[in-house]
Structure 1
């Protein structure tokens, strides 16, 4: 049966808590005291039953309180201070119920209520710690293309670590991602929140094109909007002067637009985006960085940002190589997934083993109409032997029972070009060369079946081989010139991160924005919104 502290009034109970009496072990010298403490312990046990980890923690530690005594005041204050920053971190603050918990501390009257409150604070703590450390969403449930492995913190470690920490505020602060990118996004969120509260960036620019020498109201609106965005110092100039052209050019660089300093239709469309739309990108980017928290990016790593259509080699935090890319088209399973892995090798003069999906969905229908279609690609039987097209009745097969594979031999026209970079994964995604060079000239480069085509594949090979060859270019070319398919292992595997950020800080401290080419950010923000994340909470 539950033991209530029926003979103890609220004032006496609060006085006892403030005196620290409840910190004593749950073995009392007198029966009345034992009844009081068992009421607390039983309430904790009942209220933590929803969380096996929390229940086990309290049972193992003799139901010693973490939050509800005078001795825990510093820990309690540190946690509530952290909850006050949940909105700033783009978290669903209502999920943690800080206001309700504070009110319950002020109105507690029985040991049972104290036990229930103890459990409630611990449940809120575990929810907040999990969210701040590794994200508030389960991305695979929202978009099947987000297959990133998320490292969730161990609840027992969260509880034991906080209980043992002599500096709880520091312990809680250390749960937040330490990435400089994350800190920059938190600052950007607060800055943008202030902008929204004070009217945003002003009226949109009503023009199709503005350039040097232009004057008039549209130029003034453009100038004022760029001033509010932080791209231009305050000015009363009414003409499209050199300062305005430089500001437009800097803005274009930040948005990945051709930086010609002319505010054309595409540039103005970006400038006219509402700050609330940019805030959505920032909130989703913060969540994505939380998913990657705890992941060792690698002293040297490859960073492939899908909506930016770039691949970069990062050495000691600085970019040492960059190339444009083509990524998967925005169709079904052709969208390039998001995950991290280890690049282990490159294949020079690769053959192309056509994926089964492409074989049966694209080539089989072509060969049923014309057996000679795609004649540059061999048919391969189950024993790995090439099969003559003339010996096959393609009409007898469908996508389920087609018994052949397809393979393209190494050549300049091979679909993979002359080199591919492998990081073996369940999704059959890799980086590779391509004979279709013209696609790299386009602004939006989502054309592949999912793999990532590299604009400067040879230079990427040289950059990777430099870690193990004294003459990386000479070595690569000597292998290439043999014409034979050759696998070259990297002596030190290089981490590869396929990411999807439409908002990220650059080296100048500004936030760069990109288009949501797959619509993933829109889906993620909708989920954050449903979870209770506020776009722009009211500021005090």
Structure 2
């Protein structure tokens, strides 16, 4: 027995790895014992077999120990994520519920594996996104709205699985909120009356956004791509960041109000006016305060650029535009509010579309990103605001009837009719319509006792003609507001700077030029053919291809040549958005 043990010890010394031998190695060991000439007892062989099994277990544990620990740690994080999501408090807020549902679905799809940690450490994408969210103000958003976790959270620094789980969820929530705000805006347009704004927010697919960013080669660019892609938004955002970078270095002194300046007048405000439109001070000190002819010509250029009547007279309207940029803080707040309203628009405005900007009293037709037609418009007065919405132009009506809206008929026309019905109908081209046996029929107004007629009992309609309120043509994009674009007999209003005089519809300065443009996509029709229909009965011309129409409200934007343009807040919508954003 002693010799046997001695042989065994010798064998183990000869093969030092045998303490962690595999089954194959055990067989080799037994064979070696035989070759040495020793035949161990059955008891010793049993001991060797038992030790072999133990060595095999120890060997496997040694080989897989670290991997098993990592897997368990990752599973602990996944369990932490599942638990944290389950413990999120209930809420009645729609957006919070939406965000929570997106997080739950996102993590469930990945079996609650962390999205932003790899082996307990932040991924490179996560680090980039955390830095980008801290600079969300570049996009006119508030970084404080996107709370991000600490970059020091990691397994190496001793963070628990629960800490890592919470950090992962926090970053996912920040990304979800950013992409939603960048895409749809922070202000729900439905805070406005339905008579003023009928735009429903369109939110992005938050689950898809998270999934996309976790594997993106450029996660920051992809996250910021949820901001509007429109040329107008991008240009305004660039200018916003440019002005922010300048800070208070370009403070401007407001130009005081006073008498309207005309050629030949002298006024202490002249040097400020020269500075505001980018001119050097007058070299002749004696004429420093002279409002000269050459200065008036430069003022005309400024007025034309800013949508004013280019008469060279510096009145209140011109001074208002010149002073809009003097308050740096207010200007930045205005720009943020305007960027917010860009987020309300459809991502796809259309290959060819019509855009009416209410504060500028202007209409643009854009085709493939280029403005191909511009004209002046008259919009609704403050008491009858032109609403904000998007729809599609479907047809034109030549020689249109004007079906008088109930509010106008009741509040404006009915009192006049009751004063002298015979005179009213003798001197106007209105018809009276009423429902007779379930059918709408024209009624002889002289047969009615107008003292007993109440609002809603009859309808009024104006027949086609030169005095018709809609003029010779209207452009229809059927909507709940019964608002459309149309001609007008009141042509003189287009010569004014301020053009908010309608009951909500949009009056177009050169309607047949607009008709030529919108009919360019309809076979066999143009403005000349439409004009041949004038003076006859009402005719409808249907468009072969519907054209998107967007009624928008921008008080701050960039011109085609890169100038920042400003307008007055006609309806107060911009101020309402600023208040909602706490600006």
TM > 0.5 fold call: yes
Q: How does 1:37-76 map to 2 (within 5 A)?
A: 37-47=78-88, 50=97, 51-69=100-118, 72-76=122-126
Distance (whole Å) between structure 2 residues aligned to residue 340 and residue 127 of structure 1: 25
CA contact (8 A) 1:299 1:316 kept: yes
Q: Which residue of 1 aligns with 2:230?
A: 179
Native 8 Å contact 1:44 1:115 kept in 2: no
> Which aligned pairs between 1:469-508 and structure 2 lie closer than 5 A?
472-481=526-535, 483-508=536-561
Deviates more, 1:245-254 or 1:423-432: 245-254
Say what the alpha-carbon RMSD is for the aligned residues.
3.0
Aligned residue number for residue 418 of structure 1: 472
Deviates most, 466-475 or 494-503: 466-475
What TM-score comes out, normalization by structure 2 length? 0.77
Deviation per residue, 1:420-458 (Å, 9 max, x gap): 110111111111111222222222111111111111112
Give the corresponding residue for 2:150: 102
SS in 2 for 1:421: strand
Task: Report the alpha carbon displacement of residue 207 of structure 1 after superposing the two structures with TM.
Answer: 5.4
Go from structure 1 to structure 2 and tell me whether the alpha carbon gap of 1:519 and 1:438 turns closer, same or farther (over 3 Å shift): same
d(CA) in 1 for partners of 2:158 and 2:298? 58
Task: Pick 1 or 2: higher relative contact order, CA cutoff 8 A, min separation 6.
Answer: 1
Contact persistence 1:300–1:494 (CA under 8 A): yes
- Say if 2:77 and 2:114, in contact at 8 Å, map to a contact too: no
Alpha carbons of structure 1 residues 505 and 34: separation in structure 2 relative to 1, 3 Å: closer
Aligned to 2:7: none
Q: Distance in 2 between matches of 1:34 and 1:182?
A: 44
For structure 2, list consecutive stretches of 5 or more residues without a partner in the other structure: 1-66, 91-96
CA contact (8 A) 2:264 2:293 kept: no
Question: Of 506, 513, 516, which residue of structure 1 is paired with 2:566?
Answer: 513
Structure 1 residues 45 and 417: CA distance shift in structure 2, 3 A: same
The answer as to 2:519 corresponding to 1:465 is yes
Counting only pairs closer than 5 Å after superposition, residues 114-129 of structure 1 correspond to structure 2 as 114-129=164-179
What is the correspondence of 1:171-210 to structure 2 with a 5 Å cutoff? 171-198=222-249, 200-202=251-253, 204-205=255-256, 208-210=259-261
Residue 196 of structure 2 is aligned to residue 134 of structure 1: no
Q: Which residue of 1 aligns with 2:203?
A: 152
The offset of 1:158, in angstroms, is 1.1
Identify if the C-alpha distance between structure 1 residues 347 and 195 changes in structure 2 by more than 3 Å, giving closer, same or farther. same
Which runs of 5 or more residues in structure 1 are unaligned?
1-23, 534-540
| Per-residue deviation, residues 59-98 of structure 1 (Å, max 9, x unmatched) | 1211121223466522212212322332122112211124
Distance 1:374 1:195, change over 3 A: farther
Spell out, residue by residue over 1:132-191, the C-alpha distance to the aligned partner (whole angstroms, 9 max, x if none).
122111011145412124322111211222223233223213222222222221122123
Taking a change above 3 Å as real, the CA distance of residues 39 and 468 of structure 1, as seen in their structure-2 partners, is closer
8 Å CA contact retained: 1:212, 1:241: yes
Paired residues, number: 493
SS at match of 1:302: strand
The alignment status of 1:359 with 2:415, answered yes or no, reads: no
Q: Give the 3 Å change call, closer, same or farther, for CA 73–210 of structure 1 in structure 2.
A: farther
Report what 2:358 is aligned to. Answer: 306
**How do residues 216-235 of structure 1 correspond to structure 2 at under 5 angstroms?**
218-226=269-277, 231-232=278-279
**CA 88–168 in structure 1, closer or farther in 2 if over 3 Å, else same:** closer
1:494, CA displacement in angstroms? 1.3
Aligned to 1:5: none
Larger radius of gyration: 2
Other-structure match for 1:439: 493
8 Å CA contact retained: 2:364, 2:371: yes
